Amino acid sequence: MTEKSNLNYTKEVMKRFLKPKHMGEIKNPDAVGKVGNARCGDIMHVYLKIKDNKLKDVKFKTMGCLPPEEKIVTDKGWIGISSIKKGDKVFNSEGKITSVKKIYKKKFSGKLIKIKPFVSKYNGFYVTPEHPILCIKRNSLKKTRISSKKCNWLRVNEKELILATPIYLDAVFLEVGDYLVFPKNAIVKEDEKFTNELMRLIGYYLSEGYITSNKKYLNFSFHKNEEEYITEVKKLVKLQGVNSSSQRTRENVTELRFYAPLLAKFLLKNCGKYAKEKNLSQKIMNLPFEKQFEMIKTIINGDGNTYKRRPNDSLTYRIDTASEKLAIQIQQILARGDILAPIKRFEKPESNINGRKIIAGIIFDLAFKLDKKHNFVKKQKTYFLVPIGEIESKSYSGRVYNLEVNGGDPSYLVRGFVVHNCVAAIASSDAVCEIAKGKTIEQALKITKKDIIKKLGNLPPVKHHCSILGEEALLSAIKDYKSKQGENKK
């Protein structure tokens, strides 16, 4: 997926992608052909209606798109695909940054499929049925056995699973228990100014800090009994060259206040402002995990806790945040440390603690263990394999969107998981249907990829396999027809 190419499509290719003439299914077809390219996800179905040895009608189904609200993983967090612009930076299947070359949209009416992972349903996403998703089919593994009562899928041999190569399949072919691919961010850039001490201070700011007085004062609020954290924050702020401070305790709350214009400006730039809007700069997101985890530890001190469900269990770490952006970023950071932390969204009711009114609001919760004995999620060096927990569908009519990205890897991430889309597959399928329609079976058998490419006015070399698939899908359908004819004669 690192092959370089120049994906400049002709006007004919784009016309057929945006307004294909032969897309759809034929009711009660005389034959159906299906072929696919697992490497790039181009899967085609060709349907034939044949009369008097001639192809009276030819239609195809291939590929898919995303509804407008579905979230793409970018260098600025999750962004709805309808808001993505040309040049935006997005992550691909290798956990690397690529840029958006073009955005396409078209009308769609039909079923959307929602894929919900078994771990972190919050990361579930909608796609059209033909949208290719990078996965491992559970039933493709040989060393399986009957599972426990906790789930209804087959147990797998972990070694075999980890050695398996993920492939792209249309969403419609996925089943509960199959594995999705969740890549880790592969970009690591050290920045010496972000010391361990500064990262710990950032963690406290994200959980308990706020800026006031024309962005000149840095403040923290703790419970008066959290003396250890109060003392550490004072030391950490002093290490940043800030000496002017004050402290006061009212009822059960201790407030720290520092005159620190430069530090406040730095924190606003790299961490944001207000509880619901705090998020991390790309500089922090790209730091080595060891530094990032120093920040995670102090976020837990401020906005989380640790607990054991049972006496013999390993410790569970929990973080609550009002910022959806920050919750997603924490999940991405932990993934770099081989931890896939599920996100849960819930509504926190209004409450009153020691006379302090706690306003109701949406909270995002992450929980994880550093030492987990039983894990349904399997770790690879550069990605996680996450089993599908549920598959749902709903009717939808409206715009759907497709991205074309630069570089040889045509993939991008939807809520953390790898998907793919391809302009050339739709255009090639439409072209082969038009060429074949009206021809005799013998004439249709002579159609080659050269005819398809000529019809399209050319295809980039890296996309020639799409034309081959068009040829093979047509041949597969004709073979299916001849097979059925042979059965009828018997």
Q: What is the pLDDT of residue 231?
A: 97
d(CA 19, CA 67): 18
Question: Is 197's pLDDT higher than 70?
Answer: yes
Question: Is 6's pLDDT higher than 70?
Answer: no
Question: Is 107's pLDDT higher than 60?
Answer: yes
Q: Which is more confidently placed, 349 or 239?
A: 239
| CATH T-level topology, domain 196-378 | Endonuclease I-creI (3.10.28)
pLDDT class of 64 with cuts at 50, 70, 90: low
Q: What is the pLDDT of residue 10?
A: 87
Average pLDDT over residues 94-99: 95
pTM for this predicted structure: 0.81
pLDDT class of 487 with cuts at 50, 70, 90: low
Average pLDDT value for the chain: 89
Q: What is the pLDDT of residues 247-292, one digit of tens each?
A: 999 989 999 999 999 999 999 999 999 999 999 999 999 999 999 9
Q: What is the pLDDT of residue 35?
A: 82
Q: Which of 68, 94, 70, 185 is nearest to 418 (CA)?
A: 94
Q: Which of 321, 344, 337, 342 is nearest to 371 (CA)?
A: 337
CATH 3.90.1010.10 fits 11-63+424-489, yes or no: yes
Q: What is the pLDDT of residues 206-215, one digit of tens each?
A: 999 999 999 9
Tokens found for residue 306: 């640790």
Q: What is the pLDDT of residues 421-469, one digit of tens each?
A: 666 778 888 999 999 999 999 999 999 999 999 999 998 776 777 778 8
d(CA 455, CA 372): 56
d(CA 212, CA 258): 10
CATH code: domain 71-186+382-421 is 2.170.16.10
d(CA 151, CA 355): 45
Q: What is the pLDDT of residues 122-163, one digit of tens each?
A: 999 999 887 888 999 998 998 888 776 666 787 888 899 999
Least confident of 28-42, 90-104, 350-364: 350-364
Q: Which of 349, 414, 440, 456 is nearest to 51 (CA)?
A: 440
Tell me how crowded residue 8 is: count the other CB atoms within 10 A of its CB: 9
Rounded percentage of the chain residues whose pLDDT exceeds 70: 90
What are the two backbone dihedrals, phi and then psi, of residue 405, each rounded to the nearest 5 degrees? -110, 160
**Domain ranges (residues) in the chain:** 11-63+424-489, 71-186+382-421, 196-378
